[in-house]
Amino acid sequence: MQKYLARRALFALGTFIGVSVIIFLVLRVIPGDPLVAILGAEGHAQMKPEDRVRIMADLGLSAPLPVQYGRWLIDIGAGRLGKSFFRGDTVADLILHRGPISAEIALLSFIISWIVGLPVGILSAFKPNSLPDSLARALSILFIAIPGFWLGMLVVLALLFWFGYKAPILIVHFWQDPWQNLQIVIGPALVLGLAQGAYIARMSRSCLLEVIGEDFVRTARAKGLRERLVVLRHALPNALLPVVTISGVLLGFVLGGSVAVEQAFGVPGLGRALVVAVIERDIIVVQNLVLLYAAIFVAVNVLVDLSYAWLDPRIRYG
Amino acid sequence: MGTILREMGRFARRNTLSAIGGVVGLLIVFVALAAPVLSPRDPLKADFRRMNKPPDAQSLMGTDQVGRDTLSRVIYGARTSLFVAFSAVILGTTVGSLWGVACGYLRGRFDLVSQRIMEILQSFPDLILAMAISMAIGTGLQAVIFAIAITRIPFGGRVIRSVALSVREMPFVEAGRANGASSFRVMAVHVLPQCIAPYLVLATTHLGVAIVIEAALGFLGVGVPPPTPTWGNMLADSITALVPPWWLAFFPGLAITVTVLAFNLLGDGIRDTLDPRLSPGFLRLVTGAGRSAPAAAPTPLTSPAAKS
């Protein structure tokens, strides 16, 4: 197991480095002159040549590209993430200040998705093609198709009309005022959680139905076990693995989706910081935030892999 | 022709929902193509006498802050959104599939390296990768298409690779090799035709995802720039107002939802019909007649990972 852990961690590290290479290629090599990328062609043309040279040197952008890449990796290792081109904030501050809000949204939406999705999937599988099953399936098809950010906009509009809702301007952390904090994160978490829940319901239904057709389930029924016990004790544990997998994959969707959903709700999370940075072409910030999002995704995939061994005793890593 | 119609009839009977999805999808494509004829007004023409009007007889979906007709903009938006989605999916899936065929057939070091690259590409949340790429190459129609296409490559690559891996062991491929055909010829003539069905499945299932990514990019202000109407940038426009008029927020989003729903339903049906690997019978065949090991469940063709 430890050997497997070490191998898996090494593999993930390789992926992380690959991810950083792609980010560097996309954001620093493709656009050509980084100052043109930041300022746009017109802004760049208006600048004096000596200013350009000074700013480039100041930002460490005049070194050869491989050297710049190496420096970036060293900086990441040392926890120096650079700072915004337009504001004074360092990227590390940005992450520490806004990160918790986005993390809360992701975590809460994950919890909501299981609380909603799994029971719905189980109920559907209990009586396939019954009225509740059809309803559940129709709803999950619908929630998979609705873009989260649009649903978020509609929720905000409704709240605005009936309750005079205002988008939160200040960040209130959980440890400062739990109630206020919850009001900020609950909307995005609900929207993202329901969409994930739809996938989880669909997946758990089809996996359960497949397992229910197997011999050991028939045996359990034949020995006179109540249907509830048959499904919950015998079938469910054997159907969970693909659901866990899909839940891990869905995290990629939450990470991406939260960016748009935060924008819709006007929640000042990390996703909005990324959007602002992209629109302002604040390359250093974009580069590090995109890396962070990808790194989280890679880490979650490792966790999902490890959870297999825990969930399924048949799987043992040597 | 008769056979095709009969086949379609059978498909519709077995997958009623998908057939409905297909019809609605075709309708939306038709609306997009016929936009100049169908739209009641010029989608770009501002009318300062009719600003911020709620839906009425003159403009069925109301007008926006500068008096442009929302219905016309939604219709023209279908053009941009569908064009971007179709181009991106065709481009990305084709490149990915060709790459996948090469991986599966050639195997060896090329395959190993390619698989790692695809895995790395899949380590990015789709929307975030698309945002970064479209920022790097400049926002615009081509940039958005290119950005979305790149996020689709690994899906094509991985699925088609697994198809090619099994096809390469088949007798007719071996016969081709034995006849002295070059690797390229064997891939093009013998392996590639076997990949068409999975390719179609992939392409349809990813259309919905591509539409959502396009809309999200537009909504975040990094998609196709205004004044060209897209469903995403119309939504972005609507929230610039202090109190957004509901019709500006509602109709473009409804258009996205209906379109995505239609393509998803169609894709599900096509997958059930064309992809035998996902049918229960085949699953039992692969995993043995007894208990199925869940870990051996096939990788789903659809990526749910791209919703926003």
Q: Which pLDDT tens digit goes with each residue over B5-59?
A: 787 787 777 778 888 888 898 999 988 888 787 777 777 777 767 677 777 767 6
| pLDDT, position B287 | 35
Top pLDDT among A252 and A36 is at A252
Q: Which residue, among A223, A245, A249, A244, has the nearest Cα to A234 in the 3D structure?
A: A223
Q: Does A188 reach chain B within 8 Å, measured CB to CB? A: no
d(CA A137, CA B264): 13
Nearest CB among A19, A147, A256 relative to B215 is that of A147
How sure is the predictor about B259, in pLDDT bands with cuts at 50, 70 and 90?
A: very high
d(CA B24, CA B21): 5
Interface of A with B in 22-41 (CB under 8 A): 22-23, 26-27, 30-31, 37
Q: Which pLDDT tens digit goes with each residue over A232-245?
A: 888 888 888 888 88
Q: Which amino acid is at B295?
A: A
From residue A148, how far is each of A195, B248, B271 by CA, in Å? Answer: 7, 17, 25
| pLDDT, position B153 | 92
Give the chain A residue whose CA is nearest to the CA of B244: A157
Q: Summarize the confidence of residues B126-133 as an average pLDDT.
A: 90
Which residues are registered as beta bridge partners of A83?
A90
* Chain B hits for A199, Cβ within 8 Å: 304
Q: Which residue, among A168, A171, A162, A158, has the nearest Cα to A265 in the 3D structure?
A: A168
User: What's the predicted TM-score (pTM) here?
Assistant: 0.86
Percent of chain A surpassing pLDDT 70: 90
d(CA B69, CA B89): 30
Q: Name the minimum distance, in Å, from the CA of A51 to any CA of chain B.
A: 23
Which of A158-167, B201-210, B268-277 is most confident?
Answer: B201-210
Q: Which residue is it, tokens 């109190």?
A: B243
Whether pLDDT at A173 is above 90: no
Top pLDDT among B90 and A49 is at B90
Whether pLDDT at B276 is above 70: no
Interface of A with B in 243-282 (CB under 8 A): 246, 249-250, 252-253, 255-257, 259-261, 263-264, 274-275, 278-279, 281
Whether pLDDT at A113 is above 90: yes
Whether pLDDT at B145 is above 90: yes
d(CA B154, CA A108): 30
**To probe the interface with B, which of A36, A137, A160, A278 has the most B CB atoms within 10 Å?**
A278
d(CA A213, CA A306): 28
Predicted ipTM of the assembly? 0.86
Nearest CB among A216, A238, A293 relative to B125 is that of A293
How many other C-beta atoms lie within 10 A of the C-beta of residue B308? 30
Whether pLDDT at B64 is above 80: no
From residue B186, how far is each of A230, B94, B110, B166, B301 by CA, in Å? Answer: 51, 18, 17, 14, 25
- The structure tokens listed for B240 are 């610039």
d(CA B280, CA B202): 19
| pLDDT, position A37 | 63
Which residues are registered as beta bridge partners of A122?
none
| pLDDT, position B169 | 85
Indicate left, alpha or beta for A282 from its phi (over 0: left) and psi (-120 to 50: alpha): beta
Nearest CB among A30, A154, A279 relative to B137 is that of A30
| pLDDT, position B289 | 31
Whether pLDDT at B279 is above 50: no
Subunit contact B136:A257, Cβ cutoff 8 A: no
Provide the CB-side half-sphere exposure for A109 (13 A, CA): 32
| pLDDT, position B285 | 37
How sure is the predictor about B146, in pLDDT bands with cuts at 50, 70 and 90?
A: very high
Binning chain A into helix, strand and coil, the percentages to the nearest 5 are 80, 0, 20
Top pLDDT among B35 and A123 is at A123
Q: Summarize the confidence of residues B104-110 as an average pLDDT.
A: 89
Out of A82-91, A121-130, A264-273, B93-102, which region has the weakest mean confidence (pLDDT)?
A82-91
Its sign, for the CA torsion B276, B278, B284, B286, is positive
d(CA B278, CA B176): 29
With H, G, I as helix, E, B as strand and everything else as coil, classify residue B52: coil
| pLDDT, position A192 | 92
Whether pLDDT at B303 is above 60: no
* Chain A hits for B246, Cβ within 8 Å: 157, 161
d(CA A180, CA A184): 7
Distance of alpha carbon B220 from the chain centroid: 20
| pLDDT, position B295 | 37
Give the chain A residue whose CA is nearest to the CA of B300: A246
What contacts A43, CB < 8 A, 6 or more positions away? none
Q: Which pLDDT tens digit goes with each residue over B172-223?
A: 888 888 888 888 888 888 888 888 888 888 888 889 899 999 999 999 888 8
Whether pLDDT at B306 is above 70: no
| pLDDT, position A317 | 61
**For residues B259 and B22, is the Cβ–Cβ distance under 8 A?**
no
Q: Which pLDDT tens digit goes with each residue over A200-212?
A: 998 899 888 888 8
| CA Rg value for chain B | 22
| pLDDT, position A41 | 63
d(CA B88, CA B90): 6
